Copies of this chain bind each other. A is one copy, B any other.
Amino acid sequence: MILSLADAEHLVASTFADNGVDAAVAASVAHALVQAEAAGQSGHGLRRVPAYVKQVRTGKVDGRAKPVATLAKPGVLAIDARHGFAYPALDLTVERLPEIVRTQGIALAAIHRSHHAGVMALTVERFAEQGLVAMMFANAPAAMAPWGGRKPLYGTNPIAFAVPVAGGDPLVIDLALSKVARGKVMAAAQKNVDIPADWAFDVEGRPTTDADAAMKGTMAPAGDAKGAALALMVEVLAAGLTGATFSYQASSLFDEKGPPPALGHMIIAIDPDGATGGGTSGRIAQLAQEMGREDGVRLPGRRGLGLRRQAAEQGIDIPQDVLKAIDDLR
């Protein structure tokens, strides 16, 4: 069924509101999930609605929590998401951090007691739209082991990055540090099909093609030892420095049991002209042009942006099972 973005947002927001979620929170969550769906990231889109709502019902997520921001240092905004959804805290970051960055040249937002960060490209892009560079780091329930280990200690701990480009759309990077998304292994397990041998390890740390064994084990890091090292860096930034729960102690984002996940996100935003005095976005445009000279090269972020523009005009096609699952929550 094809819905306009506005209709999809209304459907999702009213479903949350029907379940006791504050109206402003519901609007923020609905907007983020619909934009994720529009960007082709259905794993972070409307399929999440049932799990989100069930977590509100058990109190694992506080649907009425309003995030609170404190300027802890001239360049440090500490944000307590208060066990609510991540999106209102991310909205607050986008609202408050840019003015600090314009004065300081660089500033960070440290978000704790938070939840699923969603499509981080959508958050960092909002800084680039305001002429700022942004980096974002998030932790997530444990799914990867340190290199050489078997026990999951880190989430797939994504990194996102956006930079404004003079006269064009920003360059936007958004990548998990696992070789592939865990959702792909989950889908293979549900369909009972094998996975490639380099995607995941079993509980003994051996590469496996058995999706069930992989779900009980750990995801392979992108770039092997290097990806695992970067996942540690993200863990330190997103959880260690924000006061959030470490990935290995965080509860699931998919079920309604247990305490709040209390995850963390760190956003570092930078004035691109702070050190150079000006002209940086023009130089980035030159770099982007150089990348674009070769046919096989895709500028990062442009595909998702194109899909979202198309969805804004033509709406999004929501699968029947997803619509039914949402309807069942009302």
Contacts and interface: CB of A to CB of B under 8 A. Distances in A.
Contacts of A151: 293-294
Interface in A97-140: 103-108, 110, 112, 133, 135
Given A105-B74, A106-B268, A276-B242, A226 B223 contact: yes
A272 B227 contact: no
Contact of A173 (B74, B232, B300): B232
A287 interface: yes
Interface of A: 72-76, 78, 103-108, 110, 112, 133, 135, 145-151, 153, 159, 161, 163, 171, 173, 175, 177, 179, 205, 221-224, 226-227, 229-230, 232-233, 235-237, 240-243, 246, 248, 268, 270-272, 274-277, 280, 283-284, 286-287, 290-291, 293-294, 296-298, 300
Given A105-B108, A106-B268, A240-B283, 11 more contacts: A73-B275, A76-B274, A106-B106, A106-B107, A108-B274, A108-B275, A145-B294, A173-B229, A175-B229, A222-B224, A241-B280
A173 to B, nearest CB: 5
A108 B287 contact: no
Given A148-B294, A153-B290, A287-B246, A72 B274 contact: yes
